Amino acid sequence: MKKEIPYKIYLSEEELPRQWYNVRADMNTDHAPILNPKTLKPATVADLEPVFCTELAKQELNTTDKYIDIPEEVRNFYKMYRPAPLVRAYCLEKALGTPAKIYYKFEGNNTSGSHKLNSAIAQAYYAKEQGIKHLTTETGAGQWGTALSMACGYFGIDLTVFMVKCSYEQKPFRKAVMQTYGANVIPSPSMTTNVGKKINEEFPGSTGSLGTAISEAVEVATSQPDTKYVLGSVLNQVLLHQTIIGLEAKTAMLKYDEYPDIVIGCAGGGSNLGGLMAPFMEDKIAGKQAPYFIAVEPASCPSLTKGKFAYDYCDTGKVTPLAKMYTLGSGFIPSSSHSGGLRYHGMSPILSQLYHDGYIDEARAVKQTDVFAAATQFAKVEGILPAPESSHAIKVAIDEALKCKETGEAKTILFGLTGTGYFDLAAYTAFNENRMEDYAPTDEELAKGFSYIPELDI
Amino acid sequence: MKKEIPYKIYLSEEELPRQWYNVRADMNTDHAPILNPKTLKPATVADLEPVFCTELAKQELNTTDKYIDIPEEVRNFYKMYRPAPLVRAYCLEKALGTPAKIYYKFEGNNTSGSHKLNSAIAQAYYAKEQGIKHLTTETGAGQWGTALSMACGYFGIDLTVFMVKCSYEQKPFRKAVMQTYGANVIPSPSMTTNVGKKINEEFPGSTGSLGTAISEAVEVATSQPDTKYVLGSVLNQVLLHQTIIGLEAKTAMLKYDEYPDIVIGCAGGGSNLGGLMAPFMEDKIAGKQAPYFIAVEPASCPSLTKGKFAYDYCDTGKVTPLAKMYTLGSGFIPSSSHSGGLRYHGMSPILSQLYHDGYIDEARAVKQTDVFAAATQFAKVEGILPAPESSHAIKVAIDEALKCKETGEAKTILFGLTGTGYFDLAAYTAFNENRMEDYAPTDEELAKGFSYIPELDI
């Protein structure tokens, strides 16, 4: 007889994973290397070291070690907010009248409000170990900047966050959280870097972009002593750290003899979905029973469903290495009408390869208003006010549960609830007041953004 | 040998309490009755029924039943966010270098961001059971309004929230959360009630007060069919529901053979501190080993340390029953310079009686800037960004832990971390930018507010 399943499954601290899982070691691929933007040759650790911490550069390129130890200090920090609960959505199931069993892994129970902290604390730790005194990064919506501020505050590392100016002005509370944790938050474009000065001269009154903010952060990292740059998504190292999500989720499900038929996650840079699905993907690669994987992206920024699998820059400013990934082109500027943090032109190279090779079964693009309708429905019955990003996964989880209602199948659905929406209430208000617009780029608009390099189109 | 204590102690769902603890049944007092404001006679259930749900009116007056069953539907809702963790503040202990063991009961892991949900769901449940279709309430800072919106959204009850107009305008995000859960949020004074119209006529441009908002909410509750009024603090019923906090905390500590030497809580209306300490107070009343209890209040609104133990109205508008409590006088208007939700002229009658009778050992008034300094210190090492209210308890917990450092005593300190500060970032910003002011009313200012009725000064 199966054990009765509680509303929330909490693992004990002893069950907190001791290693991250490096899915690349198991993948049936040659792993298209990232390329040095100057030479277009595969990047080495030495190529990455001027910008990144050495240990993180090694993780970025590691395709052979299946497990990587989680340092004890990182694990101790994790204990302040992990293991994160795996929630059985009894109330949502009842509201939908579905025979499906719905689970979600909730990553919002920490002050950053999202899963970003899982990688922030790891990156800050390796920086501290290397004697780095100062980190730089960029932030758009602010989740990553908040997470990194918490991590740097904990380890006593100085942090400079270049925050896209329009966000800096529209989201003063995000800025305030970062400052409370001790970060120096600078609106970008700023007058503190050459790149920033140049943009301010050329485009007076510019409200900034993620591309410019990255360029400013990298400039500071490479021009000051004991300073490195860190990034919160897309990179292989970030997906590696995020596998803690999937490892915990799998352990929690197996404890109750459960296993998902479907795994659903929102996909922006891809690290949260990658982290959630990796330990289940291990089963699929091994040819065992495995879930049906669905990546959910916004119709306004449809890199998997409308993009091309090709080498491209990771940033708009084209200063970062090139990666082979699904991309709308680094020149693609996502519509600002879409809220949330999924507005990235590319996609995690790991996720991209898995999707290209058919291991991720489906990518689905969804409309913003449908996402907020699902978010509101979820909030009322499950209590948690979800982040707009996470709500993309909720939308598809509800759709799949309603399919089960039609067919009578009692499928087990697992989705990632990456965070809370406390700082996204302007978007909720727009939705509540029927002022929210849907947008999807036309084929002509999409064609404009492509900037990958033809000779690398392999 | 003692078991190793994890960072977070989570009880299982089976350990979630099945009954609230009614501390009044154990108290060595005659329980000064609340008085009908028209007759100044002890209020009966019949007196309270026009305003309150019947079951809640009964709980309000219940001084005999030691335990009251938590209804199954309320318990199921609790399971979505409870049992709440008891956290061992290892990182704070280390940062302070104290031999003290510090624990906090964290009530912020839900969308209302505070313990308010514990009573909101109970009150909404009893309303639904009684066939009430519509509830009204007031909210100042917005935590209570948010919690009640969640509860009413869950049970499908209409909710009208009168939100003090200056908060309505300054905190659009609080309003947005409430609306997302389906509440009708009206800035007070409004033009929808007679009281509101009168205030708007007499004081054009009024930005409102809690007193006016209460009066508006009560007017709607008493003038519309199937409508009742609910309140989030001060009342005995609210403290009863909040005992879930202390019951869980005590069970969790005993599981690890721990028992607090000191229990600390912030005190505004008093329901959270009352709920946390009640099961430990049971030990004290019974003459067993018991903690030293400290109530922490803001220097700007010092009802326990500077108030009078006397009969007074619970609201500024003097429409509610009178209660015997520590009060600064219902005419006392707390300085708006103080942030947070502790700006109430009175104090829970239960807490007041216990303090008067010496069961609560100490009340301590603390300055706002000291509170925010403690909040910031806590946030950096423990990760959680605390609410300003909760941070009053943090301030005193740190002070007590530092005393232990001096004396070398390894005391066990338990405090209540009632909520998160995500909606209080304007105050954090003021603190970060050195714009926060301290304020304490002078004796002359305090003398002005007293409005209790001399013939009742017994």
The per-residue pLDDT for range A420-446, each reduced to its tens digit, is: 999 889 899 999 999 998 988 888 888
Task: Tell whether the model's pLDDT for residue A44 goes beyond 60.
Answer: yes
Q: Which helix (H) or strand (E) holds B187?
A: strand B184-188
Nearest CA in chain B to A149: B380
- Choose from B4, B9, B80 for mutation: most chain A CBs within 10 A: B80
Task: For residue A456, name the pLDDT band (cuts at 50, 70, 90).
Answer: low
Tokens representing residue A309 in the block: 């699998």
Chain A partners within 8 Å of B154 (Cβ):
91, 380-381, 383
Tokens representing residue B224 in the block: 């519309």
Nearest-angstrom CA–CA distance, A237 and A240: 5
pLDDT of residue B318: 79
Is the torsion defined by CA of A105, A111, A113, A117 positive or negative?
A: negative
Cα-based distances in Å from B44 to B67, B123, B315:
21, 19, 19
How close, in Å, is residue B208 to chain A by CA atoms? 23
Q: Which of A109, A177, A379 shows the shortest C-beta gap to B385?
A: A177
Any chain B CB within 8 A of the CB of A64?
no
Buried-exposed string A317-341: b where 16+ CB fall within 10 A, e elsewhere: bebbbbbbbbbbbbbbbbbeebbbb
Q: Which residues pair with A327 in a beta bridge?
A: A308
Any chain A CB within 8 A of the CB of B339?
no
Any chain B CB within 8 A of the CB of A10?
yes
B409: left (phi over 0), alpha (psi -120 to 50) or beta: beta
| DSSP secondary structure letter of residue A368 | H
CB atoms within 10 A of CB B444: 7
pLDDT of residue B458: 46
Nearest-angstrom CA–CA distance, A317 and B183: 45
Nearest-angstrom CA–CA distance, B111 and A422: 8
- Of chain A residues 135-164, which have a CB less than 8 A from chain B? 150, 153-154
Inter-axis angle of helices A271-285 and A236-255, to 10 degrees?
60
Q: Do B154 and A383 touch (CB under 8 A)?
A: yes
- The answer to whether the CB of B264 falls within 8 A of the CB of B362 is no
Task: For residue B140, name the pLDDT band (cuts at 50, 70, 90).
Answer: confident
pLDDT of residue A320: 82
Amino acid letter, B391: S
Nearest-angstrom CA–CA distance, B64 and B61: 9
Task: For residue A453, name the pLDDT band (cuts at 50, 70, 90).
Answer: low
Tokens representing residue A43 in the block: 């990047």
Q: Which residues pair with A325 in a beta bridge?
A: A310
CB atoms within 10 A of CB B121: 28
Buried-exposed string B130-157: b where 16+ CB fall within 10 A, e elsewhere: eebebbbbbbbbbbbbbbbbbbbbbbeb
- Choose from B385, B394, B432, B435 for mutation: most chain A CBs within 10 A: B385
Q: Do B179 and A429 touch (CB under 8 A)?
A: yes
pLDDT of residue A219: 93
3-class DSSP state of B15: helix
Q: Is the peptide bond before A71 cis (omega within 30 degrees of 0)?
A: no
Chain A partners within 8 Å of B114 (Cβ):
none
Q: What is the mean pLDDT of residues A291-298?
A: 97
Query: Regarding predicted confidence, which is higher, B332 or A311?
Result: A311
How close, in Å, is residue A198 to chain B by CA atoms? 30
Task: Tell whether the model's pLDDT for residue B260 goes beyond 90.
Answer: yes
- Gyration radius (Cα) of chain A, Å: 21
Q: Which of A287-301, A422-436, B62-76, B408-422 has the lowest mean pLDDT?
A: A422-436
Chain B partners within 8 Å of A88 (Cβ):
none
Nearest-angstrom CA–CA distance, A146 and A293: 30
Task: Tell whether the model's pLDDT for residue B83 goes beyond 50.
Answer: yes
Chain B partners within 8 Å of A76 (Cβ):
7, 90
Least Cα distance to B98 among B373, B375, B381 occurs for B381
pLDDT of residue A313: 87
Q: Which residues pair with B160 in a beta bridge?
A: B136, B184
Strands of B134-139's sheet in order across: B184-188, B158-164, B134-139, B227-229
Query: What is chain B's mean pLDDT, rounded?
Result: 93
Tokens representing residue A439 in the block: 């947008």
Instruction: Match 């969804």 to its residue by tokens.
Output: A366
- Of chain A residues 385-414, which have a CB less than 8 A from chain B? 385
Any chain A CB within 8 A of the CB of B7?
yes
Chain B partners within 8 Å of A382 (Cβ):
80
pLDDT in tens, A387-425: 999 999 999 999 999 999 999 999 999 999 999 999 889
pLDDT of residue A458: 46
Least Cα distance to B336 among B202, B452, B420, B210 occurs for B210
pLDDT of residue B448: 78
Chain B partners within 8 Å of A429 (Cβ):
172, 175-176, 179
pLDDT in tens, A165-202: 988 888 888 999 999 999 999 999 999 999 999 989 99
Task: Tell whether the model's pLDDT for residue A95 goes beyond 50.
Answer: yes
Q: Which helix (H) or strand (E) holds B92?
A: helix B90-96
Least Cα distance to B426 among B377, B372, B384, B383 occurs for B372
Any chain B CB within 8 A of the CB of A452?
no
Task: Tell whether the model's pLDDT for residue B316 goes beyond 80.
Answer: no
Nearest CA in chain B to A87: B80
Chain B partners within 8 Å of A173 (Cβ):
422, 425-426
Least Cα distance to A68 among A118, A34, A30, A17 occurs for A17
Instruction: Determine the longest span between alpha carbons in chain B, in angstroms.
Output: 71
How close, in Å, is residue A19 to chain B by CA atoms? 19
- Residue B329: CB partners within 8 Å, gap ≥ 6? B307, B308, B312, B345, B446, B448, B449, B450, B451, B452
Give the count of Cβ contacts less than 8 A between chain A and B: 124
Q: Which helix (H) or strand (E) holds A61?
A: helix A54-61
Domains of chain B: 71-113+235-450 (3.40.50.1100)
pLDDT of residue B215: 87
> What are the start-end ranges of the H helices in A157-308?
165-170, 172-180, 194-202, 210-223, 236-255, 271-285, 303-306
Q: What is the mean pLDDT of residues B376-381?
A: 96
Task: For residue A340, name the pLDDT band (cuts at 50, 70, 90).
Answer: low
How close, in Å, is residue A389 to chain B by CA atoms? 17
Chain B partners within 8 Å of A104 (Cβ):
none
Q: Do A153 and B380 touch (CB under 8 A)?
A: yes
Task: Tell whether the model's pLDDT for residue A371 goes beyond 90.
Answer: yes
Task: For residue B340, name the pLDDT band (cuts at 50, 70, 90).
Answer: low
Q: Which residues pair with B101 in a beta bridge?
A: B412
- Choose from A3, A4, A7 for mutation: most chain B CBs within 10 A: A7
Nearest CA in chain B to A385: B111
Compute the 3-state secondary structure of chain A and give helix, strand, coil in percent, each to the nearest 5.
45, 15, 40
Q: Which of A110, A111, A432 shows the shortest C-beta gap to B180?
A: A432
Chain A partners within 8 Å of B148 (Cβ):
none
Any chain B CB within 8 A of the CB of A373?
no
Predicted TM-score (pTM) of this structure: 0.94
Task: For residue B456, name the pLDDT band (cuts at 50, 70, 90).
Answer: low
- The answer to whether the CB of A423 falls within 8 A of the CB of A174 is yes
Amino acid letter, A431: F
Q: Do A181 and B12 touch (CB under 8 A)?
A: no
Query: What is chain A's mean pLDDT, rounded?
Result: 93
- The answer to whether the CB of B26 falls within 8 A of the CB of B282 is yes
Chain B partners within 8 Å of A110 (Cβ):
383-384
pLDDT of residue A334: 72
Nearest CA in chain A to B374: A180
DSSP letters of B40-63?
A: -SBP-HHHHTTTS-HHHHHHHH--
- The answer to whether the CB of B306 falls within 8 A of the CB of B328 is yes
Q: What is the mean pLDDT of residues A326-353?
A: 82
Amino acid letter, A100: A
Nearest-angstrom CA–CA distance, B93 and B75: 34
A455: left (phi over 0), alpha (psi -120 to 50) or beta: alpha
Q: Which helix (H) or strand (E) holds A295?
A: strand A292-298
pLDDT of residue B309: 94
- The answer to whether the CB of B32 falls within 8 A of the CB of B349 is yes
pLDDT of residue B2: 65
Least Cα distance to B264 among B396, B401, B420, B356 occurs for B396
How close, in Å, is residue A429 to chain B by CA atoms? 6
Amino acid letter, A94: K
Q: Which residues pair with A229 in a beta bridge?
A: A136
Nearest-angstrom CA–CA distance, A57 and A43: 10
Q: Which of A96-100, A204-208, A388-392, B62-66 has the lowest mean pLDDT?
A: A204-208
Nearest-angstrom CA–CA distance, B28 and B418: 28
- Of chain A residues 83-112, which have a CB less than 8 A from chain B? 87, 90-91, 109-111
> What are the start-end ranges of the H helices in B270-324?
271-285, 303-306
pLDDT of residue B343: 76
Q: What angle do CA A150, A153, A159 make, to 5 degrees?
A: 90
- Residue B240: CB partners within 8 Å, gap ≥ 6? B20, B21, B22, B59, B68
Q: Is the peptide bond before A42 cis (omega within 30 degrees of 0)?
A: no
Rounded to the nearest 10°, the torsion over CA B448, B450, B451, B453 is -140
Q: Which of A281-295, A423-437, B17-31, B74-88 has the lowest mean pLDDT?
A: A423-437
- Residue A444: CB partners within 8 Å, gap ≥ 6? none
Q: Which of A7, A77, A182 shows the shortest C-beta gap to B80?
A: A7
How close, in Å, is residue B380 to chain A by CA atoms? 6
3-class DSSP state of A135: strand
How close, in Å, is residue A278 to chain B by CA atoms? 27
